[in-house]
Amino acid sequence: MIIANSVSKKFGRLKALRDVSVTCNRGECIALIGPNGSGKTTLIKSMLGMVVPDSGFITFNGKNILHDWAYREFIGYMPQIGRYPENMTIGQVLSMMKDIRKKNSSRALDEELVHAFGLPALMDKRMRTLSGGTTQKVSACLAFLFDPDVLILDEPTAGLDPVSSLLLKEKITREKQRGKLVLITSHILSDLDDLITQVIYMQDGSLLFHKSLEHLRRDTGEEKLSGAIASVMMKK
Amino acid sequence: MNKIIKYVVTDILRNKIVLAYTAFLLAISLSVFNLEDNASKGLLSLLNIILFIVPLVCIIFSTIYIYNSAEFIELLVSQPLQRKKIWISLFSGLATSLLVAFLAGAGIPILIYAPNATGLTMVAMGCLLSIIFVSVAMLAAVTTRDKAKGIGVSVLLWLYFSLLFDGLVLFVLFQFQEYPMEKAMLVLSGFNPIDLGRILILLKMDVSALMGYTGAVFKDVFGTTSGFALALLVMVLWVVFPAWLSVRKFSKKDL
What angle separates helix B193-205 from helix B182-189, to the nearest 10 degrees?
120
Supply the pLDDT for residue A84: 86
Q: Contact A5/A58 with Cβ under 8 angstroms?
A: yes
B67 has pLDDT over 70: yes
**Nearest-by-CA chain A residue for B252:** A52
Nearest residue, CB atoms, A99 vs list B3, B74, B83:
B3
B68 has pLDDT over 80: yes
Q: What is the rounded CA–CA span in Å between residue B87 and residue B141?
A: 12
State how far residue B246 is from chain A, nearest Cα, in angstroms: 17
CATH number at residue A38: 3.40.50.300
- For B10, the domain range is 2-251
Report pLDDT digits (tens) over B219-236. 788 878 888 898 899 999
Q: How confident is the model at residue B186 (pLDDT cuts 50, 70, 90)?
A: confident
Q: What is the rounded CA–CA span in Å between residue A96 and residue A90?
A: 10
Domain count, chain A: 1
State how far residue B75 is from chain A, nearest Cα, in angstroms: 7
Q: How confident is the model at residue B24 (pLDDT cuts 50, 70, 90)?
A: very high
Supply the pLDDT for residue A104: 59
Mutate to test the interface with A, among B75, B77, B89, B251 (most CBs of A within 10 A): B75
Contact A72 B81 (CB under 8 A): yes
Nearest residue, CB atoms, A96 vs list B7, B78, B254:
B7
B63 has pLDDT over 90: yes
Mean pLDDT for the stretch of residues B159-173: 90
Q: Contact B121/B30 with Cβ under 8 angstroms?
A: no
Domain count, chain B: 1
Supply the pLDDT for residue A110: 86
B213 has pLDDT over 80: no
- A/B interface, count of CB pairs below 8 Å: 55
Report pLDDT digits (tens) over B188-199. 888 999 989 988
Report pLDDT digits (tens) over A154-204. 988 888 999 999 999 999 999 988 889 999 998 888 888 888 889 999 988
Supply the pLDDT for residue A106: 66
- For A145, the domain range is 2-235
State the burial class of residue B166 (Cβ atoms within 10 Å of its Cβ: 0-12, 13-18, 19+).
Answer: middle
ipTM for the whole predicted complex goes beyond 0.95: no
Sites in chain A below the pLDDT cut of 70: 103-106, 236
Supply the pLDDT for residue B209: 63
